[in-house]
Amino acid sequence: MQNPYLPYPAVIEKIIVETDDRSLRTFKLKFLDPSHEQVFKYMPGQFAEISVPGKGEVPIGIASSPTEKGYLLFTINKVGLVTTHLHNMKEGDILGVRGPLGNSYPWDRMEGKNVVIIGGGFAFTTLRSSIVYMLHPENRPKFEKIIVVYGARRPGLLLYKDELWEWEKRNDLEMHITVDATDDPNWKYNIGFVPTITEQKVKSAENAIAIVCGPPIMIRFTQPVLEKIGFSPENIILSLEMRMKCGIGMCGRCNIGYKFVCKDGPVFSLAELKELPSEY
C-alpha cells in the first residue's frame, strides 16, 4: 500500500488569475511522473491536499473533471499561510498533490435525475468539475435536465468566466448566472441573491437532486427555498469545509460527531447532517 501521507510531485503548468481582486487563482498541475495520473482516479466532489514543501499542506477541492486528461485544476483562495505562499509561486515550480481524498457527489444516485447545481462565490470549484463531467458526450445522456444557478457578489468575482459564457449559450444546460449587484450597464445576466434566483428559476423538485456549495450565509438562505420547492433533505447535497491535516480520518480535527469531513465527507446530504451535532 502506498504511504497515504506521501504526495505525488507535480509541476505548475499554468496559473490563471480568476477574479478582479486577484485573490483567486487556478493552478493547472501536471504530475511529474505520468504514471501517477493512472493512480489518481477521482470523481467530482473529491479534494486533494496540495503540499508546498516547507510550508505545509492545504485541502482543496478538485476543480478539473476526470474527463479532462493530462492535468488537474485547483482554484485557490489566498487566505492562510500555505495559500499565500501558493499565490507567490510561478509556473514551472514544483509542489505535491496528495489524494484524491474524501467521497464525491452521489453520482450513482444522480443518474437518471434532474440535477440542480447551486453555487456561490469561490465555492464553485467542485461544481465546475461536476458540470464539465456531466456535459461530456459520454456522460450527458445519463442525466435529465441540468440547471445551474451560480452567483457572486459582483461580476469580477465570478470564476471560470469564459466557460460560464459558453455554458450560457448551450441548450443542453440551463444556466442562470447572477450577481448581488453591479453598475455595469452591459451586464446581461441576472441580478439578485442566489436563493432569490433559485426560487425564480427552479420550478420543481420532481425526480431532482440539488447540489449546493457556497458560503454559509448562502447555504442558510438557500436551504429553506429548496425545501419549499419540494426537495427532501435526502436530495439536498452539501459539501463542507473543515480545518484538516491528514485527510484520511486519522488526525482527529475535522469531525462532526462521529463522522470525519475528510473521509466520510466532504459531501453530505442534508438528511445526514440533521442527525449529526451542529458543530461546523
Partner 1 sequence: MYKLFKKEDFINSLYKIKDYKIFVPAKEGYYHFFSPLEKGISPDFSFFNTRLSPKSIIYPQSERMFEFSLNKEDPDAFILKEAEKEFPLQAIIGIRPCDAHAFQIVKKNFDNPDYKDPWWTKRYENTTFIGLGCNNPRNTCFCTKVGGGPFSEIGLDAIMYDLGENFLIKVLTDKGSLFLKKIEGGKEAEETHIKQAEKIKKEAEAKIKTDIEIEALLKKGILQVFEADIWEEISFPCINCGICTYLCPTCWCFDIQDEVYKDKGDRIRNWDSCMFPIFTLHASGHNPRAEKFRRVRQRFMHKLKYYPEKYHDGVQCSGCGRCIIACPTNMDIREIANKMSKI
Nearest CA to 202 out of 178, 225, 172 is that of 225
Helices of type H across 94-231: 107-110, 125-135, 161-169, 194-201, 216-229
Q: Which residues are paired to 255 by β-bridges?
A: 260
Nearer Cβ to partner 1, position 225 or 256?
Answer: 256
Q: Give least dist CB 111 to partner 1, A.
A: 25
Nearer Cβ to partner 1, position 62 or 95?
Answer: 95
Which residue reads 473533471 in cell numbers?
A: 65
Nearer Cβ to partner 1, position 38 or 258?
Answer: 258
Q: Give least dist CB 228 to partner 1, A.
A: 25
> Three-state SS for 223?
helix
Nearer Cβ to partner 1, position 184 or 275?
Answer: 275
Nearer Cβ to partner 1, position 81 or 191?
Answer: 81
Structural contact between residues 237 and 210, judged by C-beta atoms closer than 8 angstroms? yes
Nearer Cβ to partner 1, position 68 or 93?
Answer: 93
Instruction: Tell me if the bond preceding 100 is cis, omega within 30° of 0.
Output: yes
Total residue length of the chain: 280
Tell me the three cell numbers of residue 179: 450577481
Q: Give least dist CB 3 to partner 1, A.
A: 5
**Rounded to an integer, what distance in angstroms lies between the CA atom of residue 257 and that of residue 259?**
6
> Three-state SS for 98?
strand
Nearer Cβ to partner 1, position 19 or 83?
Answer: 83
Q: Give least dist CB 98 to partner 1, A.
A: 9
Q: Give least dist CB 178 to partner 1, A.
A: 23
Q: Give least dist CB 56 to partner 1, A.
A: 5
Site residues (vs partner 1, CB under 8 A): 1, 3-7, 9, 32, 51, 53-58, 79-81, 83, 93-96, 241-243, 245-246, 248-255, 257-258, 263, 275-277, 279-280
Extract long-range pairs of 217-225: CB within 8 Å, 24+ residues apart.
218/120, 218/121, 218/151, 218/193, 218/194, 221/193, 221/194, 221/195, 222/118, 222/194, 222/195, 222/198, 223/270, 225/195, 225/198, 225/199
Q: Give least dist CB 76 to partner 1, A.
A: 11
Nearest CA to 43 out of 111, 145, 95, 122 is that of 111
Nearer Cβ to partner 1, position 80 or 224?
Answer: 80
Q: Give least dist CB 60 to partner 1, A.
A: 12
What 8-state DSSP symbol labels residue 234? G
